[in-house]
Amino acid sequence: MENLLSRITINPEVGHGKPTIKNTRYTVESMLEYLAGGDTIEDILSEFKDLQREDILACIAYATASMKLKDIEIPAA
């Protein structure tokens, strides 16, 4: 997972300081939104030709690592 996380960077001047895929302006958040919306990794790669499969996996790994840092409140049903 550490190798994947090296593909993610945070630069205050890029993406409003949100985590982005290294050497791009694509935010981790936007890639996760595509996945949550039902797009597959292959769908994303066909739309963003400059990305690699590992970049999307890095976004997922980053989100997973972030979840371990804090609790997320989800309203009761």
Q: What is the tens place of the pLDDT at every residue in 8-56?
A: 999 999 999 999 999 999 999 999 999 999 999 999 999 999 999 999 9
State the DSSP code for 27: B
Enumerate domains of the chain plus CATH numbers: 2-67 (1.10.10.10)
14 φ/ψ angles, rounded to the nearest 5 degrees: -125, 130
- Long-range (24+ apart) CB contacts under 8 A made by 15-21 are 19/62, 21/51, 21/55, 21/58, 21/59
At 68, is the pLDDT very low, low, confident or very high (cuts 50, 70, 90)? confident
6 φ/ψ angles, rounded to the nearest 5 degrees: -70, -10
| Residues paired with 19 in a beta bridge | 10
The pTM assigned to this predicted structure is 0.86
Structure tokens at 12: 């205050």
